[in-house]
Structure 1
Amino acid sequence: MDERFFYELVELYGLYAVFFLAMIEGDITLLLAGVLAHSQFFGEYSFFKVLTAGTLGGVTSDAIAYALGNSFRTSVREYRFYRAARPRIERLTEKFGILSILLSKYIYGLRTASCIFYGVAKMPYQRFIPLTLASCFLWAFILSGAGYFFSGTIETLIGDFHQIGIYLLVIVVVGIVGFYLLERFWLAKKVEEADPERVHKLEHAAQEKLHVLSHEIQEHIHLRRSPKSRRKSAPKQKRLVKNREAKATIKKG
């Protein structure tokens, strides 16, 4: 995907572009969106917004692939890309079980095919969605975080983005392409050779991170409630207290 095309779409459609592009070419999208998040391109909490849009885009794409496999399992089996990917998916599944959903995000050629595979295999939908949600969250966190960190490091070492302009852009793009190729080819091979015990530890860490982030979001929403909503809720709370006191008085009587 051309970087200029990406920036034009994001400038026009913002996070909606990140969401839809994450469904099509998630790696480059998340890396570049992470770079933009560092400059607060998407406003306050830019990185969190990119992480959310990327995760939801990945989950939506996976759910569509799963649905296709589940609905058209007979015809899907005849497609060349599926027949080529199936032996690798089966080996991965035999070695890691359901954790192969988590790992398939980092193996070139298996990302979509693995979701179709689980649809064909009739994995329960309520089991597939939580697994792919955790997988997409970790995937989006790693890639957008890499773009965010890389951009921040370059700016710290060299100077402000607006001052160095095209030089920083070239360095960032080269770094992103390098990371993308590293993730797509070298990391894919390492993942298939990984030790299952290490993968279990990684899954546990991802679940903990997701739980902490969910808790932080709830706290943030609670703290940012407008004064109006607080004033509106105050009379309701007073009525509830009065009702409880009245019930307690009746019981005593």
Structure 2
Amino acid sequence: MLIDVRNVTKAFKDENSGFFSRYQSVLKGVSLSVYAGECLGIVGESGSGKSTLGKIVLGLEAPDSGEVVLGEAIADLPRHQAVSVVFQDYNTSVNPRLSVSDIINEPLITEPLEKTEREARLVQLLEEVGLSADMLERYPHQLSGGQLQRVCIARAVAPNPKFILLDEAVSSLDVSVQVQVLMLLQQLKRDRQMSYLFITHDISVASFMCDRLLFFKDGEVVEQVDEMHRLKAVENTYTRELLEAASYLQIPLETEFEKQ
């Protein structure tokens, strides 16, 4: 076990509550575990609480109750080597004034590397995500969306973390680019023996990417699928509605990206 989320709750103040403060419960006793080498998917509509959970796992938000426990394999590592993240909006995830070289180097600043060694490391990271070394001196506005998200992925894997949280990491990309990035993520996961927590609203993407799925609604896990071949046999009404909506939109589960 790498990450163990234990009965986490979280509520936020209702901004429209006026003088009498009211709070909206966003997470209602969520528990889950992420194991070494797996991709665990969290699927839910906007407002279901999945991104709030992601922030708590990353330590960006504190739970009101419950806890997030790091497993023995990562508990003693520096935070940036234990856990990393790739967000949905690649444009706001980077400083537009920094070059690609500076962006990827951010998590490596504290590492005692000689100049030539650092440059070689950056080139290797770029090549690992399918980009050429001549992009090191470019700036975000000079890159396509797919290229910039690959830069964000290179930055995320630079410190060689054991675990990466991917929060809607491909939803802003065109479908053809999504395919390339998802296959890249799978390759990196195998090569670097990492684990992913994959947050998404897209069941077809999740069914392609993940080993297990948790379905979120109103801050709770309403169904868990531990064997992906049983995805279409879900029983919860909400989960079935999500699957039926995907079918209505003619999104073939599990095979959409394999056919690209």
Structure 1 length as normaliser, TM-score?
A: 0.29
**TM-score with structure 2 length normalisation?**
0.28
Q: Which has the higher contact order (CA 8 A, sep 6+)?
A: 2
- Please identify which structure carries the higher strand content: 2
- Higher percent of residues as helix: 1
